[in-house]
């Protein structure tokens, strides 16, 4: 299992958040989140889940590997699981 989590440093709506990813498969990620954290599938952000700071220790205790944000991104990209951001063309509107 290679579920990775970065530190909860990303601010949004008065809270701090982590990113949780798998460098193996989305299926592994969905299974981990469902079984260990109880986060609904609809919270999936295309290639990661956002995890509130109060669930960070729970995720690590359940087996998520704590890594820095750069390592998390590098491993996600290396696995070919990074969702590419869509570009909006200037003519779209």
- Residue 11 in any domain: the answer is no
| Number of independent structural domains in the chain | 1
Residues 6+ apart with CB under 8 A from 11: 17
Query: What tokens were used for 79?
Result: 């696995």
- Give the angle subtended at the CA of 40 by the CAs of 36 and 43, to the nearest 5°: 115
Instruction: Give pLDDT tens digits for 56-87.
Output: 999 999 999 999 999 999 999 988 888 776 55
Q: Is residue 2 part of a domain?
A: no
- Domain for residue 10, yes or no? no
3-state DSSP helix/strand/coil percent for the chain, to nearest 5? Answer: 35, 25, 40
The domain of 34 spans: 16-78
- Please check whether residue 86 lies inside any domain of the structure: no
| pTM of the model as a whole | 0.84
Residue 7 lies in a domain: no
Assigned domain for 74 exists: yes
């Amino acid at each position: 299992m290679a579920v990775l989590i970065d530190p909860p440093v990303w601010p949004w709506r008065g809270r701090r958040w982590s990113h949780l990813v798998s460098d193996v498969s989305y299926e592994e990620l969905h299974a981990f989140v469902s079984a260990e954290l109880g986060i609904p599938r609809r919270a999936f952000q295309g290639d990661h889940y956002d995890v509130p700071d109060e669930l960070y220790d729970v995720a690590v205790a359940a087996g998520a590997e704590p890594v820095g944000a750069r390592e998390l991104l590098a491993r996600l990209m290396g696995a070919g699981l990074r969702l590419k951001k869509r570009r909006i063309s200037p003519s779209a509107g």
